[in-house]
């Protein structure tokens, strides 16, 4: 025989707690073991925190607070899941949570909690991205700064991150890229040099890095064997 429903003016006695078949680690709370109308659905962590167990008294005054807390926890849990694949910026996580149709206040709660737990740190993200991008993508500081801003890193944070780039490391990346690209550039020596300089600039390397990077490349005309000097194609 099922448990009789006990109603009070100020709350309910929890009659049944069932696992939600559609969502892992969520439970549905019923005031009566025979009713199909649940009081609420919560994550198991919220259920434990508020002691939403069979036979416990659930005050009506707490019902809305529990729902709100569950929504905030849902935003946090989704953010943790999204972070599981790779580091993210605060803005990227906010955009992801926004697509889940969560309330702005709950999104803000999740982001602030992640930052307080040091799981989201735009400054650290920017520093790691700069180093990785220059080595693997062979790109200069100007393009990397632009990519950081596209990923949601604040403009000032992105600017500070690229200023920490080591000159020699950036020059090595530019030289590697210049040497590789020079093999496929066509034209006479002067034309090839100009094209390569333009290419390196488009990849975000500053002018001084570009000039230095192409210095070691031989620009011989195939017919005359003449070797061009560096020229002054860049003055910035």
Are the beta carbons of 83 and 93 closer than 8 angstroms?
A: yes
Q: What is the percent of the chain with per-residue pLDDT over 70, rounded to a whole number?
A: 87
DSSP letters spanning 129-196 = HHHHHHHHH---HHHHHHHHHHTT--HHHHHHHHHTS-HHHHHHHHHHHHHHHHTT--SSHHHHHHHH
Mean pLDDT score across all residues of the chain: 85
235 band by pLDDT with thresholds 50, 70 and 90: very low
State pLDDT tens for residues 42-74: 999 999 999 998 988 888 889 889 999 999 999
Nearest-angstrom CA–CA distance, 194 and 190:
6
State pLDDT tens for residues 218-233: 766 544 444 444 443 4
210 band by pLDDT with thresholds 50, 70 and 90: very high
Residue 169 has what pLDDT? 87
pLDDT above 70 for 7: no
Residue 22 has what pLDDT? 85
Residue 220 has what pLDDT? 60
Residue 234 has what pLDDT? 44
Residue 37 has what pLDDT? 83
Q: Which of 19-33, 146-160, 222-236 has the highest mean pLDDT?
A: 146-160
98 band by pLDDT with thresholds 50, 70 and 90: very high
State pLDDT tens for residues 177-189: 998 888 888 888 8
| Span 22-40, average pLDDT | 83
| Entry pTM | 0.71
76-85 burial string, b = 16+ CB within 10 Å, else e? bebbeeebee
């Amino acid at each position: 025989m099922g448990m009789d429903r006990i109603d009070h003016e100020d709350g309910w006695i929890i009659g049944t707690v069932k696992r939600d078949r559609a969502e892992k680690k969520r439970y549905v709370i019923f005031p009566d073991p025979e009713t199909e109308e649940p009081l609420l659905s919560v994550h198991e962590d919220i259920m434990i925190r508020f002691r939403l167990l069979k036979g416990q008294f659930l005050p009506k005054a707490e019902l809305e607070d529990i729902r709100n807390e569950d929504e905030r926890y849902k935003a946090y849990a989704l953010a943790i899941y999204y972070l599981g694949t790779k580091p993210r910026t605060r803005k990227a996580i906010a955009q992801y949570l926004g697509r889940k149709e969560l309330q702005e206040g709950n999104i803000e709660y999740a982001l602030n909690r992640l930052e307080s737990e040091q799981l989201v740190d735009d400054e650290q993200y920017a520093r790691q991205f700069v180093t990785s991008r220059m080595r693997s993508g062979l790109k200069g500081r100007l393009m990397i700064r632009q990519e950081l801003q596209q990923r949601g890193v604040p403009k000032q944070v992105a600017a500070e991150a690229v200023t920490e780039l080591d000159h020699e490391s950036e020059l090595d990346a530019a030289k590697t890229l210049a040497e590789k690209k020079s093999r496929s550039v066509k034209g006479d020596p002067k034309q090839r040099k100009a094209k390569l300089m333009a290419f390196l600039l488009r990849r975000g390397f500053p002018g001084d890095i570009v000039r230095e990077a192409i210095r070691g490349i031989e620009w011989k005309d195939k017919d005359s064997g003449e070797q061009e000097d560096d020229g002054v194609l860049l003055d910035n």
